[in-house]
Amino acid sequence: MPEFLPSKHPFLLEAAFVPLLFIVFLIVGRWLKRDQEVRLGIAYILFSIALALWTPLQVFGTDFPRRSAVMMNLSAALIVLGSFPIIALVRRYGWELWFERRNRSKAPKFLSQVVALIIFVSAVLAALGGIYGVSIQGAVLGSTVVVGVIGFAMQDLLGNIIAGISIEIGKPFNVGDWLIVDGKHMEVMEVNWRSTRCRDNDNIYSDIPNRHIVGTTITNLTFPDRVHGIRILVGFEYSVPPNQVKDCLKHAAMTASGVLANPAPSVFLRDYGESAIVYEIRFWMEDESRYNPICDAVRTNVWYEAQRAGLKIPFPIRTLQIERPKKAASDALQIAHTSLRRQPFLQLLSPSQLDRLLADARLLRFGRGEHILEQGDEGRSMFILVHGQAEVYVKVGGAERHVATLRDGDYCGEMSLLTGEVRTATVQARTDCEMWEIGKDTLAGIMAENQHLLEKLSEILAKRKMEVDGIIESSMSDHEKTQTAARYKESFLKRLYGFFEL
């Protein structure tokens, strides 16, 4: 190479290194982004350009006019732009890998933002003080007016940041926890450097300043676990025995969707109020997002349970209550009469006996989703559906199978009424249902007056059993069928006499 080349073209060597270094830095950045999942961004490209220009000038030391100014600016740019790759590396290796693996939870967003801000501000101060020689203390802290203005303007911001740090240190809650803040149930969605973002059951978001969170009393419904108790108050008349009310309310809570069976619900007599005895229902749940539907289910079940048990939730004594006579239940009685005539065994009763049977029956109401009958439970009554629809299910081999849909005028539970057998199916209200319940006691009195009725009834039951067992359609001889029918009739007759204590 000729001796005059370096002196005549002093930047050829440096210029040759610049694109080469820039390509090397881009390859490193591509490896960090693809293989290590480090999010570098545009700041890394600018940093690579500055570093590719600065390195040859620093290594070869070529002298040129205003070299010191160029090197000073490049050095300052390297320090400031270099803070961004450092922040990206800290975020990836410090927060996402080390912190999350150690604590098994996602790193707080605001904490990583605060650390990133510290790194960036430190880089800017280092560039100003170390490269340009600017006195940071003299420029900023030297003026008491500036300090006062900055302090006054940033007091809320700094207070929220400090409060956010204390939240992270104390860990009173985590993202996903349900809190009671200012009387509202809220789920923690994010904790950032300024505020805590929450969402209530109506999917409405609230930004609560961290200073407010630290300065107020909060209730964490999720700590130490997600199971927590809920209390509901309800009042009943003074004339009702407390133990009867407690049983009613406990059953209403236990059958509500979303209420945990363990711990079991409990009921307490809370107070003697002006117009009612106040009871408190305590039940347990773990899905706070369903707070409103679960409380609604409990309160709805309380109303239906109280109606069926004949318990009354009284009006406040200061309320003027004007009651008008209710419309006679003639439609319901007509449906019940028609339904009773469909029953083969009730066709044996006279009209007066049917009227007597219905006179002692109870008109009950069941809410949508409630179980009217439960397979395997004991029973001493049958039901006639007046209004609504109900589904009939039977458990076979551990699996529940739908077998029928009951509509106006249909009936169920007749075998338990006649023989005392346990319920053979589960009946669930598909809609709100009104049902007549006919009990054993009234029917027992009618049968005691007419012993011939038992003979006819045992014949009907024997015939039904033979149909169920497939005997009628079998290849048995008529003589064998007659003997089987007589045996079945005698068995049912004994059971009827024993069940009705005749």
> Do residues 349 and 263 share a domain?
no
Domain finish residue from 309, 340, 372: 309
pLDDT of residue 8: 47
The CATH number linked to 249 is 3.30.70.100
> Do residues 54 and 42 share a domain?
yes
CA distances from residue 208 to 168, 211, 288 in whole angstroms, order as listed: 15, 8, 20
Report yes or no on 315 lying in a domain: no
Both tokens of 257, joined, read 């969707």
Distant-in-sequence, close-in-space partners of 158: CB < 8 Å, separation ≥ 6: none
Report yes or no on 125 lying in a domain: yes
Tell me if 275 sits within 8 A of 218, measured CB to CB: no
Neighbours of 494 (CB within 10 A): 11
> Do residues 271 and 343 share a domain?
no
Report yes or no on 68 lying in a domain: yes
Both tokens of 349, joined, read 């009763």
Neighbours of 324 (CB within 10 A): 5
> Do residues 434 and 388 share a domain?
yes
For residues 44 and 50, what is the distance between their CA atoms, to the nearest angstrom? Answer: 10
> Do residues 439 and 337 share a domain?
yes
For residues 8 and 325, what is the distance between their CA atoms, to the nearest angstrom? Answer: 117
Distant-in-sequence, close-in-space partners of 76: CB < 8 Å, separation ≥ 6: 127, 131, 132
Range of the domain at 245: 228-309
For residues 272 and 203, what is the distance between their CA atoms, to the nearest angstrom? Answer: 38
Our count of domains for the chain comes to 5
Report yes or no on 342 lying in a domain: yes
Domain finish residue from 426, 446, 466: 446
Report yes or no on 164 lying in a domain: no
Tell me if 371 sits within 8 A of 423, measured CB to CB: no
The CATH number linked to 197 is 2.30.30.60
> Do residues 442 and 454 share a domain?
no
The CATH number linked to 389 is 2.60.120.10
Report yes or no on 148 lying in a domain: no
Neighbours of 366 (CB within 10 A): 24
Tell me if 221 sits within 8 A of 228, measured CB to CB: yes
Report yes or no on 162 lying in a domain: no
> Do residues 111 and 66 share a domain?
yes
Both tokens of 35, joined, read 């293989």
> Do residues 14 and 109 share a domain?
yes
User: Which residue has 């003027």 as its token pair?
Assistant: 320
User: Strands across the sheet with 362-366, in order?
Assistant: 362-366, 433-439, 381-387, 411-412
> Do residues 373 and 412 share a domain?
yes
> Do residues 12 and 129 share a domain?
yes
User: Which residue has 């359609």 as its token pair?
Assistant: 473
> Do residues 345 and 415 share a domain?
yes
User: How confident is the prediction along the chain (502 residues), in pLDDT tens digits per residue?
Assistant: 444 344 445 555 566 667 777 777 778 878 888 877 778 778 778 877 877 777 777 766 666 667 677 777 777 787 888 788 888 888 887 777 777 777 666 666 666 777 888 888 888 888 777 777 776 665 554 445 545 555 555 566 677 777 777 777 777 888 888 999 888 889 998 887 778 899 988 888 888 888 888 888 888 888 888 898 999 999 999 988 999 999 999 999 999 999 999 999 999 999 998 889 999 999 999 988 899 999 999 999 999 999 999 898 887 765 556 665 555 456 666 766 666 666 666 677 777 877 787 778 888 999 999 999 999 898 888 888 888 999 999 988 888 899 889 988 788 887 788 778 888 889 999 999 988 888 888 778 877 777 777 777 788 777 777 776 666 667 777 777 788 888 888 887 788 777 777 6
Both tokens of 133, joined, read 């020689």
Report yes or no on 153 lying in a domain: no
Neighbours of 185 (CB within 10 A): 17
Distant-in-sequence, close-in-space partners of 119: CB < 8 Å, separation ≥ 6: 83, 86, 87, 90
CA R_g for the chain: 41
> Do residues 254 and 355 share a domain?
no
